[in-house]
């Protein structure tokens, strides 16, 4: 498996990323067009400016491949 993004005509994308925590490949589907992605990835606009409609968890996944479940499990003690 490798990292990939497939954009669909309905404005969604399937993103496969390798987690920086576990090294496992995770997949997430989100509302994301190629144009929106390019604003952040190619044109280097801040992710929260380029993709304000995404949740914090979705933006974290896009950057690092870390799912919200992995984040919670890893940093549970710090959050308690």
Residue-by-residue pLDDT tens, the chain, 80 positions: 899 999 999 999 999 999 999 999 999 999 999 999 999 999 999 999 999 999 999 999 999 999 999 999 998 865 55
CA 51 to chain centre: 11
DSSP result, 26-68: EEEEEE--HHHHHHHHTT---HHHH-TTS-HHHHHHHHH---H
pTM above 0.85, yes or no: yes
């Amino acid at each position: 498996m490798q990292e990939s993004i497939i954009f669909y005509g309905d404005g969604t994308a399937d993103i496969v990323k390798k987690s920086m925590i576990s090294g496992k490949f995770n997949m997430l589907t989100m509302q994301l067009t190629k144009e929106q992605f390019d604003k952040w990835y190619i044109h280097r606009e801040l992710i929260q400016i380029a993709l304000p409609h995404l949740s914090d968890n979705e933006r974290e996944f896009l950057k690092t491949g870390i799912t919200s479940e992995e984040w919670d499990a890893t940093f549970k003690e710090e959050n308690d």
